[in-house]
A and B are shown apart, each in its own frame.
Chain A
Amino acid sequence: MKAEIEILHPGLFSTIQDFGRRGFQKYGVPLSGVMDRIALKTANLILQNQADAAVMEITQMGPKLKFSAATKIAISGANLSPKLNDTEIDNNEVVKIHEGDILSFGRPEYGMRSYLAILDGFKTEKVLGSRSWYEDITSHEKLEKGMKLQYEASEEEKYETHAAIKFDEEYLNSQEIEVFPGPEYEKLPETLKSHLRQSKFSIDKNNNRMAIQLSEILENELEPIITGPVLPGTIQLTPGGKLIVLMRDCQTTGGYPRVLQLSEKGINMMAQKKAGDKIRFKSPPTPKGGEALS
């Protein structure tokens, strides 16, 4: 049976995301996809969904949603104090939804982005192989008031009541972000290299799904490069001396020196950082063929 979620209040910035859009980078199309893949996998796993079923990515201030029929949901990633009707619910657990239930969010407890998975995933339009929302590619860019999202209602017990899975919250709070040297790292002067290894950096308020700026200004004498490929997790050093961490919606090419590259886990960790949070870069313990920062 077709059912729908009505958006009573859109919150700050919520989108539908899956693992992203592959195969179209050569046309300049960003990869997109969930900012935090660990949380997406966890939420889907709890519901026994397909690993890449589309979820709702919720940033800092959650929306208010009304369900038209029974289903099950699970929330992972940041804790934004979710409430079903008037009862507080926990992250990383199966939550049963009944007709007319209202899901809302409150005060952000920890983390930046929360992930709402629904049984079988959100069935929004698929464009170029993905349901990830991105301006001009999909019809929608973010949740809007009054919008309706389709899902498949389910009364049946697909499985016995499920124990909450163990969720390692460490990555949500840790300041240590794993990085590899980027293509232009070797061109940096020694003083700057050691600064990158030893200093703490803070997350600027200028941050979104495309990129996260760090507040500190470094002395930069590197020349711009001939426009080259960039990926989510590429850290560029701008002529003004700012570090810009490219995230999932980043452009496909860029002309600033690429000084560092986050590990996969590092990208997920960065996705959970909010303005004012501090981070420190470190080399992974056993680089998989990648060189350590020297």
Chain B
Amino acid sequence: MNDFPKITPMGERGILIEFEPEISEKLLRKLLFYKDKLEEFYDEVNIEVINTYNSLLISYMFSIENVYNEVSAIKELFGEAKIGKINNQQIFHLPVCYEVEFGWDLEYISNEKNLSKEEIIQLHTKPFYTVFFTGFLPGFLYLGGLDKKLQISRRNQPRMKIEKGAVGIGENQTGIYPKSSPGGWQILGNCPVQFFDKNNDPPCEISAGDKVKFYSVSKKEFEEISEQISEGTFQLKKENYEG
């Protein structure tokens, strides 16, 4: 028997459900399956469930009356589970311009890792990255699946300002800064696509369980796409994904 999931209150309005401390697609499937179950079981008006790599957090609108009742209800809900596939998975193809103008650290990575710029781009655009969750900032996607050859430590001195859309890597993660912010990742390029629009419903089209694949575009294409985005005519390339 293992001790997971571990179900504990987090303050008076939260219950944290922790699974094995690992990052894997198998665990993600389990989390998303249970997340659906919880949302089905509870009235969604009164709770909100988020997932991270290995946790689910149920946050309640009101203080929890009886934690023991809640915990046993959750346990029961998890007992009867047969984990299925992730529903409605999609692959999103995202353009990235890897020109030096955007790829501030390409040369550094190239020297550190003994890879040519072309090899870096090839390694970065090859995988189907898994979206584990959106967190930290509105529209920041936690992506898994970075090639080992590209894994590199964060900068010793974080930059004060990283541009919106900057695509970076840090340790085993890769991702896109959804807005200008300070940051310590090594920057490879820029992706002009907006991941979060408060006027859309939902405000973020890409969600946990989806896949992301980057493709390289020239500066000219980057500018064309940026213009289409500002005019609202850009079509994000996406297709269904059978997991």
Contacts and interface: CB of A to CB of B under 8 A. Distances in A.
Interface of A: 22-29, 127-128, 136-137, 180, 182-183, 225-229, 231, 233-234, 251-254, 258, 261-264, 288-290
Interface residues of B, number: 48
List the 4 closest pairs (A to B, CB-CB), nearest first.
A289-B67, A253-B135, A229-B57, A261-B11
A251 B203 contact: no
A180 B135 contact: no
Q: Looking at chain A's contact residues, is the secondary structure mostly helix, strand, loop, or mixed? A: loop
A229 B52 contact: yes
19 contacts: A22-B48, A25-B50, A25-B59, A27-B196, A28-B134, A136-B179, A182-B10, A183-B16, A226-B21, A226-B54, A228-B54, A229-B50, A229-B135, A251-B136, A262-B11, A264-B13, A288-B9, A288-B65, A290-B67
B84 to A, nearest CB: 20
Interface string B105-148: 00000000000000000000000000001111111101000000
Contacts of A24: 138, 203
B50 A234 contact: no
Contacts of B138: 24, 27-29, 136-137
Nearest to B202: A27
Given A29-B203, A182-B10, A288 B54 contact: no
A183 B48 contact: no
A288 B59 contact: no
A226 B13 contact: no
Given A26-B50, A136-B179, A288 B135 contact: no
B11 A180 contact: yes
A226 B21 CA distance: 7
Interface string B151-174: 000000000000000000000000
Contacts of A234: 10-11
A180 B56 CA distance: 19
A125 B66 CA distance: 37
B136 A252 contact: yes
A29 B203 CA distance: 10
Contacts of A261: 10-11, 14
Given A253-B135, A288-B67, A183 B9 contact: no
Nearest to B49: A26
A251 B140 CA distance: 11
B172 to A, nearest CB: 11
B23 interface: yes
Contact of B135 (A182, A231, A252, A264): A252
Contacts of A289: 9, 64, 66-68
Given A226-B53, A264-B11, 9 more contacts: A26-B133, A182-B10, A226-B21, A231-B10, A231-B57, A251-B137, A264-B12, A264-B13, A289-B9
B207 A28 contact: no
Contact of B55 (A25, A180, A228, A233): A228
